[in-house]
Amino acid sequence: MAIRVQRPIFDIGVELSDLTADNPRIGGLCCFTGLVRDMNNGDAVATLTLEHYPGMTHKQLAKIEAEANERWALEASLIIHRYGTMLPEEPIVLVAAASAHRHDAFAACQFMMDYLKTDAPFWKVEDTDQGARWVDSRDSDATAKARWRDRES
């Protein structure tokens, strides 16, 4: 289990390779990366800046990762979330879950992303050709999280 909150860019290949190294019990690895898009709601996005609540961020991400490890039999898990200013195509977040079998890896990875989207204290502001604007939260994120409440896995 590992959580990292950082400003610098990360290398997905290196992170995944470190995560699974020397663990031959891993049969499946699922990972998700969120990337900066160059358009949002019809406007061109020049940069995306993420602000966060340092005292709370690590605590919330660790809680999400711990709950995923309670729900599923994971061999390894990882959440990396960046803050600061990023350009289109840069990665913002990396969530990964490794397990003996694929179902646990997929479910845990998606669970962590869905919870992160509603529970991790990050806020996005876009610098667009219409000026800077705070990104609105999406109702679909609350719905995605709620799905997990009623099911075991």
Partner 1 sequence: MKLLYFAWLRQKIGLGEETVSPPESASTPTALVDWLRTRGDGYALAFSDISAIKVAINQEFASFDDPISDGDEVAFFPPVTGG
Which residues here bind a second copy, judged by CB under 8 A? 11-14, 16-17, 20-39, 88-89, 100, 102-103, 105-106, 109-110, 113, 140, 144
Quick one: three-class SS letters along 31-94? Answer: EEEEECCCEECCEEEEEEEEEECHHHHHHHHHHHHHHHHHHCCEEEEEEEEECEEECCCCEEEE
Cβ atoms within 10 Å, residue 43: 14
Window of 9-17, 37-45, 46-54, 66-74 that interacts with partner 1 by CB under 8 A: 46-54
Q: What token pair was written down for 27?
A: 């049969």
C-beta of 24 vs 152, nearer to partner 1: 24
The 3-state DSSP composition of the chain as helix, strand, coil percent (nearest 5) reads: 35, 35, 25
Closest CB 109 distance from a second copy, rounded Å:
8
Instruction: State which of residues 7, 17, 41, 123 lies at the interface with partner 1 (CB under 8 A).
Output: 123
Integer CA distances (angstroms), 117 to 43, 64, 102, 143, 146, in order: 22, 11, 23, 11, 12
Q: Does 110 bind partner 1 (CB under 8 A)?
A: no
C-beta of 23 vs 137, nearer to a second copy: 23
Window of 7-15, 17-25, 103-111, 120-128 that interacts with partner 1 by CB under 8 A: 120-128
Q: Which of the listed partners (a second copy, partner 1, none) does 100 bind, with a CB threshold of 5 to 8 Å by partner kind?
A: a second copy
Residue 135 near residue 43, CB atoms below 8 Å: no
Binding site for partner 1 (CB under 8 A): 34, 50-53, 55-56, 59, 81, 92-93, 102, 113, 116-125, 134-137
